Amino acid sequence: MVKWWCATGLVCRAAEAEEQHQEAPQEEVAEEKAEETPSEEEAPVEEEEDAPAEEEEEEEEEEEEVHDPKPELESSCKPKCVKQLLALQACEKRVEEDEGGEKHCTGQYFDYWGCVDKCAAPKVFRKLK
C-alpha cells in the first residue's frame, strides 16, 4: 500500500519496494531475449549448450516456487535475540535431563519468540505486496 506522502517526493520505502518488484520481471525478460538471439544464430552444438539453461528458465517460469520471506526474516533476527535464545537452549537441556516430566520452557520460548517477532514484524510487510 503506497502511503499518501509518497506522491510528495519524500523518501518512501513502499515506492522503492515497488520499483524493485518491477525491476525483477524486466530483468527476466532481458535474460530471455539475450538467450534467444544467440541460439537462433549459432550452430546446433551451441544450441545444446543453451538448451539446459533455457530449460531451467522454463522450469522456473512454470513451477514458480513461492518463497515465504517470514522464516528467513525470523532467522535473520536471531543475532538480536541471542540472550533469549541461549536461555531457551539452556532450559531445553534442563528439561531433557529432567525425569519428572513437569518442567517446560514456555517462559523462555515466549521471551525468545517475542523478541524475534518484535524484530521481524516491521520487515515482513515490506517484502509483501
Partner 1 sequence: MGLLGMAGSAYADEAEHGLAAPSYPWANDGWFASYDHAAIRRGHQVYKEVCAACHAMSLIAYRDLIGVAYTELEVKALAAEIEVEDGPNDDGEMFGRPGKPADHLQPPYANEQAARSANGGAYPPDLSLICKARHNGPNYVFALLTGYRDAPAGISVRQGLYYNPYFPGGAIAMPRVINDGGVEFEDGTPATSSQMAKDVTHYLAWAAEPEHDERKLIGAKWICGALLCLYAMGYYKRWKWGPLKSRRIIWDVVN
To the nearest whole angstrom, how small is the minimum distance from the Cβ of residue 71 to partner 1?
9
Using CB under 8 A as the binding rule, whether residue 102 contacts partner 1 is answered as yes
Closest-CA residue to 129 (of 21, 23, 3, 28): 21
Residue linked to cell 531433557: 96
To the nearest whole angstrom, how small is the minimum distance from the Cβ of residue 100 to partner 1?
9
Using CB under 8 A as the binding rule, whether residue 108 contacts partner 1 is answered as yes
The site map against partner 1 for 67-86 (x = CB under 8 A) is: xxxx----------------
Report the alpha-carbon distance of residue 88 to residue 94 in Å, rounded.
Answer: 10
- In the 8-state DSSP scheme, what is residue 64? -
Phi, psi of 76 (to 5 degrees): -75, -15
CA atoms within 13 A on the CB side of 66: 4
83 versus 103: smaller Cβ distance to partner 1: 103
Chain residues that interact with partner 1, rule: CB under 8 A: 1, 3-4, 64-70, 88, 91-92, 95-96, 98, 101-110, 113-114, 117-118, 120-122, 124-125, 127-129
